[in-house]
Chains A and B, each alone.
Chain A
Amino acid sequence: GDSVTQMEGPVTLSEEAFLTINCTYTATGYPSLFWYVQYPGEGLQLLLKATKADDKGSNKGFEATYRKETTSFHLEKGSVQVSDSAVYFCALTSYNTDKLIFGTGTRLQVFP
């Protein structure tokens, strides 16, 4: 079945460091890809999405590019802030369903 694999956390960075969180997927057809973020004590919220190959999603300085050839959707940010500390979830939906399939989440900790 469809699945999402994320890198294990936690990822610990100093403020202004470069961030990459790896995400790869397995899916039939042409899924849509998402990154959701969960701040402490809150529900998940959409960070960015991409619906077809080579699309780049971006928001709040975060970017991810839908790479069909490598089945990847890695999250990047050039300069992280303490306020970016959260858990980041990669997810996909297949073409014939509205179900979101989530990765296990990657905790990011940014220190001043």
Chain B
Amino acid sequence: DAGVIQSPRHEVTEMGQEVTLRCKPISGHNSLFWYRQTMMRGLELLIYFNNNVPIDDSGMPEDRFSAKMPNASFSTLKIQPSEPRDSAVYFCASSPAKIGTKNIQYFGAGTRLSVL
């Protein structure tokens, strides 16, 4: 099993540009999570999906952030326009969980985003 695959691993962009982060969850998993990790704020859950449907997006910082899951094997997190304060490591995780169960989350290696 290849695990959760995120791309790109590193992204450097200029303020105002659109950034798209991609995630391929583990096959058969039906929950997908997007996290952001910074030194100041630690690990924050941005949004999660169950069966491709967004369940909780209360962690999405503002309208500049959007996430989609068009099918069970692909999700995107988009930032438009990007700002320097968006610089962070973004993690995707997937889980075989159904809502209300306690299954393990499997994390990708992350995308390190730098907005100049």
Contact = CB atoms under 8 A, between A and B. Distances in A.
Interface string B34-51: 000000001101001010
A92 to B, nearest CB: 10
Which of A93, A104, A105 is most buried by chain B, counting CB atoms within 10 A of its CB? A93
Contacts of B55: 98
Interface residues of B, number: 26
B104 interface: yes
Interface residues of A, number: 21
Given A32-B102, A43-B4, A99 B48 contact: yes
Contacts of B108: 43
B42 A104 contact: yes
Interface stretch (A18-26, A44-52, A74-82): A44-52
Interface in B63-116: 91, 93, 95, 97, 99-110
Interface of A: 32, 34, 41-46, 49, 51, 89, 93, 95-100, 102, 104-105
